[in-house]
Structure 1
Amino acid sequence: MIDADDVRRIALSLPETVEKEAWRMPTFRVAGRMYLTVPDDETSIAVRCPRHEREELMAAEPEKFWVPPHEASSAWVRVRLAALEDLAELRDVVVDSWRQAAPDRLREAHPALVPGAEAAGGR
């Protein structure tokens, strides 16, 4: 089963990612911009997601994606770890969020780092 340790391992494998505690939970940042949090009881993660895509995700897979009421106006979505198919899907979600927060220089320096790339090939 996927857990917070898997999230941490994948996030910290991404270029220039640092872990920082905020609001009494682990957060992950690239170039100072937060792109991932592990809230509450570590059964879910919160990642960056444009609102128009977020609505589509929640409609297509409500058992996997949701937004708490207090985050409705944000560009974040929650992901239930137990609903993910495997570590590859977790990696895709984390990489997508990293790409949204990473500066152009990092995205350009790591063009193979995209959702769907194998972990070894994506670095």
Structure 2
Amino acid sequence: MTVARVRFVATWDDVRRVALALPDTSEEESRGTPRWLVHGKGFVWDRPLRKADLEALGPAAPDGPILGARVADEGVKTALLADNPDVYFTTPHFDGYPAILVRLDDINTDELEELVTEAWLLKAPKRLAKQFLADRDS
């Protein structure tokens, strides 16, 4: 008998849980919305769509919660957009910037955890990131 792994849709509570489980992470409010930082550097944040975003996206604009996340570079961003356009998107505001927007209602918790952790690794001090990876792999 095979047991399928259930993948739940993510919520802000999941973002908070995953982010705050990472070493030296804090949560603060910016413009009335939460963002998560490691050593003062933001790596994921609540990113409601603005008027210019809505105009650029037109009818394709999602109406649910939007997570912003740092990515390594434009190549990673392009790959995420191509691999899963139902979850990931961008707006002209983020052109040339290593960040991706995520339809929080459409990403599963496993993928969210991977995305948040990768974003954290990009912004964490090198020594802290190295120690985290060593502890995780042991």
> Normalization by structure 2: what TM-score?
0.75
1:14 pairs with 9, 13, 22, which one? 22
Structure exhibiting the larger radius of gyration computed from Cα positions: 2
Residue 54 of structure 1 corresponds to 77
Cα contact 1:51–1:74 (8 A) shared by 2: yes
Q: Which runs of 5+ in 2 are unaligned?
A: 1-8, 49-62
Higher relative contact order (CA 8 A, sep 6+): 2
The runs of at least 4 aligned residues of structure 1 exceeding 4 Å deviation read none
| Structure 1 letter corresponding to 2:27 | E
Residue 66 of structure 1 corresponds to 89
Residue 127 of structure 2 corresponds to 105
1:34 pairs with 42, 57, 78, which one? 42
Residue 115 of structure 2 corresponds to 93
Cα contact 2:64–2:103 (8 A) shared by 1: no
> Normalization by structure 1: what TM-score?
0.83
In 1, Cα distance between the equivalents of 2:81 and 2:10?
20
- State the number of aligned residues: 115
The CA deviation at 1:122 is 6.9
The CA deviation at 1:53 is 1.1
Q: Which runs of 5+ in 1 are unaligned?
A: 114-120
The CA deviation at 1:24 is 2.1
In 1, Cα distance between the equivalents of 2:12 and 2:90?
19
Identity %: 30
Cα contact 1:3–1:42 (8 A) shared by 2: no
2:67 pairs with 24, 45, 48, which one? 45
| Structure 2 letter corresponding to 1:60 | D
Cα contact 1:17–1:31 (8 A) shared by 2: yes
In 1, Cα distance between the equivalents of 2:133 and 2:84?
28
CA RMSD of aligned residues (A): 2.0
In 1, Cα distance between the equivalents of 2:68 and 2:87?
12
The CA deviation at 1:82 is 2.1
